[in-house]
Amino acid sequence: MSRQCELTGKGGLVGHLVSHSNIKTKRRYLPNLCNVTLISDSLGRGVRLRISANALRSVEHRGGLDAFLLKARDEELSLKARRLKKEVSKARAAAATAETAA
């Protein structure tokens, strides 16, 4: 399991740990990843994702998982999130056609 956010693509960075005597040693800065279950309104079910705390705030700000996925670029999403985005767009399209037919 990689240490990378499934929604934003945020991963680890490399930097220096600088001591009091100015000795620099390599260290890694890892993202704050959380295992969360987000509810998809279009699909009507929960989805388990491993996302950063910052991405969780972004999802809430944009109005939910479906809105976040439809607005996000495919390059920054993981494979699981891209598949989920495709499912959500199909479900929204099906709901729109059913609404216009009625």
Per-residue pLDDT of the chain (102 residues; tens, 9 = 90+): 689 999 999 999 999 999 999 999 999 999 999 999 999 999 999 999 999 999 999 999 999 999 999 999 999 899 999 999 999 999 999 999 988 887
Place of tokens 């969360």: 36
Neighbours of 19 (CB within 10 A): 9
Interatomic CA distance for residues 19 and 52, integer angstroms: 28
Both tokens assigned to 15: 């930097």
Domains annotated for the chain, with CATH where assigned, are 13-101 (2.30.170.40)
Interatomic CA distance for residues 9 and 4, integer angstroms: 6
Residue 12 phi/psi, 5-degree rounding, is -75, 150
pTM of this prediction? 0.84
